[in-house]
Chain A
Amino acid sequence: MTEPAFVVERGTRTSRVGAVAGAVVLLMLAALPLWGTRSLMRMLVEFISLLVLAQMWNLLAGYAGLVSIGQQAYVGLGGYALIVLADDLGVDPFASVFLAGLVAAAFSVPTAALVFRFRGGYFAVGTWTVAEVYRLLIANSPRLGRGSGRTLAAVFPLAPDTREALTYWLALLIGTGAIIHSYLHLRSRFGLSLTAIRDSEPASESLGIDVFRTKLCVYIIASFGAGLTGALIYLNLLRISPDAAFTVNWTAFMIFIVVIGGIGTIEGPIVGTLVFFLLREFLADFGAWYLILLGVVAVLVMLRYPQGLWGLIADRWDVRFFPVQRRVRFGAAPAGEADADRSAGLTSGAT
Chain B
Amino acid sequence: MLNSVVQGILLGGLYALFATGLSLIFGVMRLVNLAHGDLSILAAFLALVVVRVTEINPLLALLVVVPAMAGFGYLMQRGVLNFTLGRGVLPPVLVTFGFSIIIQNLLLEVFSADSQRLNPGRIETASIAIGKELAIGWFPLITFVVAVLIVIGLQLFMSGTSLGRALRATSDDQEAAELMGIDNRRLYGVAMALALAIVGVAGVFLGIRTTFGPSSGPDRLLFAFEAVIIGGLGSLWGTLAGGIILGVAQTIGAKFSPGWGILTGHLVFLAVLFVRPTGLFRGTQ
Partners in one complex: yes
Residue ranges of A at the interface with B (Cβ–Cβ < 8 Å): 61, 65, 67, 69, 114, 117, 119-122, 124-126, 128-130, 132-133, 136-137, 139-140, 146, 248-249, 252, 255-256, 259, 263, 287-289, 291-292, 295-296, 298-299, 302-303, 306
State which of A117, A289, A291 has its C-beta within 8 Å of the C-beta of B273: A117
Query: Shortest 10 CB-CB distances between A and B: which pairs?
Result: A121-B32, A288-B105, A136-B263, A295-B102, A299-B98, A295-B98, A125-B225, A295-B101, A140-B259, A67-B93
Q: Are A288 and B80 in contact (CB under 8 A)?
A: no
* Complex Cα spacing A202 to B5, Å: 47
Q: Which residue of B lies closest to A249 (CB)?
A: B101
Whether a CB of chain A sits under 8 angstroms from the CB of B282 is no
Q: Are A296 and B32 in contact (CB under 8 A)?
A: no
Q: Given A291-B105, A292-B109 in contact, is the A133-B95 Cβ separation under 8 Å?
A: no
Q: Are A122 and B105 in contact (CB under 8 A)?
A: no
Q: Are B218 and A248 in contact (CB under 8 A)?
A: yes
Q: Are A122 and B259 in contact (CB under 8 A)?
A: no
State which of B97, B102, B266 has its C-beta within 8 Å of the C-beta of A69: B97
Q: Are B97 and A302 in contact (CB under 8 A)?
A: no
A-B contact pairs, 14 of them (CB 8 A): A61-B90, A67-B89, A121-B34, A128-B218, A129-B225, A129-B226, A129-B269, A248-B218, A256-B98, A288-B108, A289-B109, A298-B94, A299-B98, A302-B84
Q: Are A120 and B89 in contact (CB under 8 A)?
A: yes
Contacts of A120 in B (CB 8 A): 30, 32, 89, 93
Whether a CB of chain A sits under 8 angstroms from the CB of B156 is no
Interface residues of B in 215-270 (CB under 8 A from A): 218-219, 221-222, 225-226, 229, 257, 259-260, 262-263, 266-267, 269-270
* Complex Cα spacing A255 to B225, Å: 21
Q: Are A302 and B32 in contact (CB under 8 A)?
A: no
Q: Are A133 and B266 in contact (CB under 8 A)?
A: yes
Q: Which residue of B lies closest to A289 (CB)?
A: B109
Contacts of A292 in B (CB 8 A): 101-102, 105-106, 109
Q: Which residue of A lies closest to B89 (CB)?
A: A120
Contacts of B72 in A (CB 8 A): none
B252 to chain A, nearest CB (A): 16
Contacts of A146 in B (CB 8 A): 259
Whether a CB of chain A sits under 8 angstroms from the CB of B83 is yes
State which of A139, A248, A306 has its C-beta within 8 Å of the C-beta of B259: A139
A250 to chain B, nearest CB (A): 12
* Complex Cα spacing A65 to B90, Å: 8
Whether a CB of chain A sits under 8 angstroms from the CB of B213 is no
Q: Are B98 and A121 in contact (CB under 8 A)?
A: no
A137 to chain B, nearest CB (A): 7
Contacts of A259 in B (CB 8 A): 94
Contacts of B108 in A (CB 8 A): 287-288
State which of A121, A129, A139, A306 has its C-beta within 8 Å of the C-beta of B93: A121
Q: Are B277 and A303 in contact (CB under 8 A)?
A: no
* Complex Cα spacing A119 to B98, Å: 19
Q: Are A132 and B32 in contact (CB under 8 A)?
A: no
Q: Are B259 and A124 in contact (CB under 8 A)?
A: no
Of A65, A117, A124, A139, most B-chain CB atoms within 10 Å: A124
Q: Are B270 and A121 in contact (CB under 8 A)?
A: no
A132 to chain B, nearest CB (A): 6
State which of A128, A252, A303 has its C-beta within 8 Å of the C-beta of B101: A252
Q: Are B263 and A140 in contact (CB under 8 A)?
A: yes
Q: Which residue of A lies closest to B91 (CB)?
A: A302
Q: Are B266 and A124 in contact (CB under 8 A)?
A: no
* Complex Cα spacing A292 to B226, Å: 28
Q: Are A65 and B97 in contact (CB under 8 A)?
A: no
Q: Are B34 and A124 in contact (CB under 8 A)?
A: yes
* Complex Cα spacing A119 to B233, Å: 13
* Complex Cα spacing A303 to B89, Å: 13
Q: Are B91 and A303 in contact (CB under 8 A)?
A: yes
Whether a CB of chain A sits under 8 angstroms from the CB of B138 is no
State which of A122, A125, A130, A299 has its C-beta within 8 Å of the C-beta of B94: A299
Contacts of A139 in B (CB 8 A): 259
A92 to chain B, nearest CB (A): 33
Interface residues of B in 97-127 (CB under 8 A from A): 97-99, 101-102, 105-106, 108-109
Q: Are B266 and A136 in contact (CB under 8 A)?
A: yes
Q: Are A299 and B80 in contact (CB under 8 A)?
A: yes
Q: Are A303 and B263 in contact (CB under 8 A)?
A: no
Q: Are A255 and B94 in contact (CB under 8 A)?
A: yes
Contacts of B34 in A (CB 8 A): 69, 121, 124-125
Q: Are A303 and B83 in contact (CB under 8 A)?
A: yes
B233 to chain A, nearest CB (A): 9
A56 to chain B, nearest CB (A): 16
* Complex Cα spacing A121 to B81, Å: 14
Contacts of A130 in B (CB 8 A): 270
Contacts of A302 in B (CB 8 A): 84, 90-91, 94-95, 98
Interface string of B51-68 (1 = CB under 8 A from A): 000000000000000000
* Complex Cα spacing A159 to B24, Å: 59
Contacts of B222 in A (CB 8 A): 125, 128-129, 132
Contacts of A140 in B (CB 8 A): 257, 259-260, 263
* Complex Cα spacing A333 to B88, Å: 38
Contacts of B88 in A (CB 8 A): 65
Contacts of B101 in A (CB 8 A): 249, 252, 291-292, 295
Contacts of B80 in A (CB 8 A): 299, 303
